[in-house]
């Protein structure tokens, strides 16, 4: 296999599986050889996972985490997309809002935790607020730059065919910006999934983040900690693949590099 | 010579008239004259080519006549009416990036037809798909088309709204030389069936002599009309005939003059 050839057929699955298998082996033998009493081996994680599934707590936690992400991310999209489009479309609005937003953007959502608790008390709402914050900025920036990066040639063609400003926005600028908006949404969803775990370590008593911290605090069950981590990784992967699948829709595929 | 060649070929109605058109851009507080006292009459159904050194203001001239810019001085009238802003009766065709990548071939051609009924629109789309020979590609997206096909698509999208005038801004500039030759033939065929007025900006001397009724030579910036050459050869043009070579040489020498300071 040279560096130019793409792995094909059975190799497409064989090598990634081998890499995963090697990682598991390293993990397993590290635990065995160091004779650690704290860190779990893959086998005990698997048992812990089976136990969680058996007691039905895992599905409830997954459902709670997904619900919070859906609410926070959904609100961020509903507020962020129109605001971002407006900022991209009206340079004056962008000039007014951009400095404040650029200032707020680098503040980690984690830093907002105390503020979120002051605003919303405990429960779902501060967690949803944190997820909203983490998803809002990537969406906003992607929409604003997506709109302002639409080539002038497209807008001019729209004007040439007699379109009104509103029609140019809906029939030219928006479809031209959709690929960039989708990228922003995908990044935002990834960040939201990162932040939900942190948000659930405070203020709530359910969800995958709570499962991680609770497993550690109540009896140092590191098998469950690692089991929850694996579930978090797997769901994050599925969410990302879902968005990548959206990028294959014909009317937006032009905006993404793809095999021809 | 000047006054004589400014008039359109005899017997044809004037379509577009530019009188004392000047354009001055403001760049970083400095005024930059781009066009200087352009006077030109284009007759109905004429194929006019604009040539000149790069950056001389050819595209600015098209943008003025298309209504995307207003001249600093002078007037531009089409059918006796002053040009105010862009208008679907005159469509500007850009290089191949101009087609909408999020729409299919059908969607692109139908883009300017939203006011028509569904049946009329479909009929119009089918007609122009056939005219630019894109049958079988109706549902294809531009990313799956070749450069030449994209450009034919853009011409079809422009023609579909029934414009009086087509402005073509170096439309074949990004195509390879074989595709360019084919596209010239296609454009001539379409022009001969549809008889729209065409103003064609190019930097390719052969392209101008092969296609146009008249070739307008612009000087370097600020652009003036250096010469207007009438190409008195009937289509299809024999590009090794003596008259063709004469006209080509004449145009080359005019351009050569235009390039000297």
Residues A21-35 have pLDDT tens digits of 999 999 999 998 998
- Are B247 and B236 in contact, with CB atoms under 8 Å apart? no
Does residue B194 have a pLDDT over 90? Answer: no
Q: Do residue A175 and residue B143 have CB atoms under 8 angstroms apart?
A: no
- Are B49 and B251 in contact, with CB atoms under 8 Å apart? no
Task: Write the pLDDT tens digit of every residue in B107-135.
Answer: 999 999 988 999 999 999 999 998 888 99
Task: Give Cα B22 distance to the centre of its chain.
Answer: 20
**How many residue pairs from chains A and B have C-beta atoms closer than 8 A?**
54
Pairwise CA distance, residues B90 & B66, whole Å: 7
- Are A213 and B104 in contact, with CB atoms under 8 Å apart? no
Does residue B217 have a pLDDT over 60? Answer: yes
Neighbours of A111 (CB within 10 A): 10
Does residue A260 have a pLDDT over 60? Answer: no
B57, B59, B61, B63: CA torsion to nearest 10: -140
Q: Do residue B94 and residue A151 have CB atoms under 8 angstroms apart?
A: no
Does residue B69 have a pLDDT over 60? Answer: yes
Tell me the mean pLDDT in the region A207-233.
Answer: 90
Of A4-8, B73-77, B169-173, B193-197, which gets the smallest average pLDDT?
A: A4-8
- Are A69 and A193 in contact, with CB atoms under 8 Å apart? yes
Pairwise CA distance, residues A82 & A88, whole Å: 10
- A-chain residues within 8 Å CB-CB of B85? 159
Quote the DSSP letter at residue B61. Answer: H
The chain B residue lying nearest A249, using CA atoms, is B102
- Which helix (DSSP H) or strand (DSSP E) does residue B201 occupy? strand B197-201
Of A58-62, A215-219, B198-202, which gets the smallest average pLDDT?
A: A215-219
Exposure of B128 by Cβ count < 10 A (0-12 exposed, 13-18 middle, 19+ buried)?
buried
Rounded to 5 degrees, what are φ and ψ at B56? -85, -15
- Are B21 and B37 in contact, with CB atoms under 8 Å apart? yes
Q: Do residue B102 and residue A175 have CB atoms under 8 angstroms apart?
A: yes
The chain A residue lying nearest B96, using CA atoms, is A153
Dump strand ranges (E) for B28-125.
30-43, 47-51, 73-78, 81-82, 90-93
- Are A229 and A197 in contact, with CB atoms under 8 Å apart? no
Pairwise CA distance, residues B135 & B112, whole Å: 20
Chain A interface includes B94 (CB < 8 A): yes
pLDDT band at A6 (very low <50, low <70, confident <90, very high): low
Name the packing angle between helices A174-200 and A208-217 (round to 10°). Answer: 20
What sign does the dihedral A112-A113-A117-A118 (CA atoms) show?
negative
Q: What's the gap in Å between the CA of B173 and the closest CA on chain A?
A: 16
B257, B57, B212, B82: CA torsion to nearest 10: -130
Q: Are strands B47-51 and B214-218 parallel, antiparallel or unpaired?
A: parallel
Q: Do residue A252 and residue B161 have CB atoms under 8 angstroms apart?
A: no
Task: Write the pLDDT tens digit of every residue in A234-256.
Answer: 999 999 999 888 888 888 888 88
The chain A residue lying nearest B162, using CA atoms, is A161
Of B9-23, B119-133, B167-181, which gets the smallest average pLDDT?
A: B9-23
Q: Do residue B91 and residue A250 have CB atoms under 8 angstroms apart?
A: no
Q: Do residue A251 and residue B141 have CB atoms under 8 angstroms apart?
A: yes
pLDDT band at B253 (very low <50, low <70, confident <90, very high): confident
Beta bridge partners of B17: B41, B77
Pairwise CA distance, residues A209 & A217, whole Å: 12
- Are B14 and B44 in contact, with CB atoms under 8 Å apart? yes
Terminal Cα-to-Cα distance of chain A (whole angstroms): 22
**Residue A123 vs residue A176, higher pLDDT:** A176
The chain A residue lying nearest B104, using CA atoms, is A251
- A-chain residues within 8 Å CB-CB of B137? none
Q: Do residue A161 and residue B112 have CB atoms under 8 angstroms apart?
A: yes
Chain A residues bordering chain B (beta-carbon distance below 8 Å): 151, 153-154, 156-157, 159-162, 171-172, 175-176, 178, 250-255, 260
pLDDT band at B154 (very low <50, low <70, confident <90, very high): very high
Question: Hey, what are A10's tokens?
Answer: 């059975």
Q: What's the gap in Å between the CA of B224 and the closest CA on chain A?
A: 26
Phi-psi region of B71 (alpha: psi -120 to 50; beta: other; left: phi over 0): beta
- Return the residue in A157, A182, A260 with the most chain B beta carbons within 10 A, the one to mutate for interface testing: A157
Q: What's the gap in Å between the CA of A249 and the closest CA on chain B?
A: 10
Q: Provide ipTM, 2 decimals.
A: 0.84
Tell me the mean pLDDT in the region B73-95.
Answer: 90
């Amino acid at each position: 296999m040279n560096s130019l050839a793409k792995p094909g057929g059975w190799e497409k699955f064989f090598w990634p599986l081998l890499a995963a298998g090697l990682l598991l082996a390293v993990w397993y033998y590290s635990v065995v050889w160091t004779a650690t009493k704290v860190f779990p081996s893959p086998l005990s994680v698997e048992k812990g996972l089976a136990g969680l599934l058996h007691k039905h707590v895992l599905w409830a936690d997954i459902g709670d985490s997904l619900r919070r992400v859906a609410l926070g991310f959904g609100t961020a999209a509903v507020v962020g997309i129109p605001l971002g489009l407006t900022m991209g479309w009206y340079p004056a609005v962008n000039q007014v809002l951009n400095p404040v937003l650029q200032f707020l953007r680098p503040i980690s959502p984690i830093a907002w935790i105390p503020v979120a608790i002051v605003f919303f008390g405990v429960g779902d709402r501060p967690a949803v607020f944190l997820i909203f914050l983490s998803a809002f900025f990537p969406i906003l920036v992607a929409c604003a730059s997506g709109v302002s990066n639409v080539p002038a040639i497209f807008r001019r063609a729209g004007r040439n065919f007699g379109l009104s400003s509103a029609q140019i926005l809906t029939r030219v600028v928006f479809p031209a910006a959709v690929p960039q908006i989708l990228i922003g949404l995908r990044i935002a969803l990834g960040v939201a999934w990162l932040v939900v775990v942190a948000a659930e370590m405070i203020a709530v008593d359910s969800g995958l983040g709570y499962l991680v911290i609770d497993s550690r605090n109540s009896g140092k069950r590191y098998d469950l900690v690692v089991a929850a981590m694996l579930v978090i990784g797997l769901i994050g992967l599925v969410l990302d693949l879902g968005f990548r699948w959206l990028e294959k829709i014909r009317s937006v595929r032009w905006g993404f590099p793809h095999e021809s | 010579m000047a006054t004589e060649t400014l008039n359109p070929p005899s017997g044809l109605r004037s379509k577009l008239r530019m009188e004392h058109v000047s354009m001055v851009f403001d760049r970083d507080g400095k005024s930059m004259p781009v066009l200087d006292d352009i006077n030109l009459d284009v007759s109905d159904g004429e194929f006019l080519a604009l040539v000149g050194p790069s950056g001389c203001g050819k595209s600015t001239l098209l943008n003025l006549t298309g209504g995307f810019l207003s001249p600093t001085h002078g007037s531009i009238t089409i059918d006796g009416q002053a040009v105010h802003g862009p208008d679907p009766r005159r469509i500007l065709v850009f290089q191949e990036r101009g087609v909408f990548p999020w729409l299919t071939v059908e969607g692109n051609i139908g883009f300017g037809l939203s006011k028509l009924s569904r049946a009329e629109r479909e009929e119009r789309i089918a007609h122009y798909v056939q005219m630019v020979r894109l049958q079988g590609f109706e549902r294809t997206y531009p990313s799956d088309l070749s450069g030449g096909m994209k450009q034919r698509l853009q011409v079809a999208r422009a023609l579909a709204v029934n414009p009086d005038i087509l402005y073509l801004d170096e439309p074949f500039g990004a195509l390879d030389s074989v595709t360019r030759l084919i596209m010239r033939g296609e454009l001539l065929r379409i022009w001969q069936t549809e008889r729209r007025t065409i103003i064609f900006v190019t930097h390719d001397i052969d392209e101008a002599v092969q296609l146009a009724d008249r070739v307008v030579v612009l000087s370097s910036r600020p652009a003036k009309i250096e010469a207007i050459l009438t190409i008195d050869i009937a289509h299809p043009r024999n590009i090794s005939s003596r008259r063709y070579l004469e006209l080509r040489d004449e145009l080359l020498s005019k351009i050569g003059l235009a390039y000297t300071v």
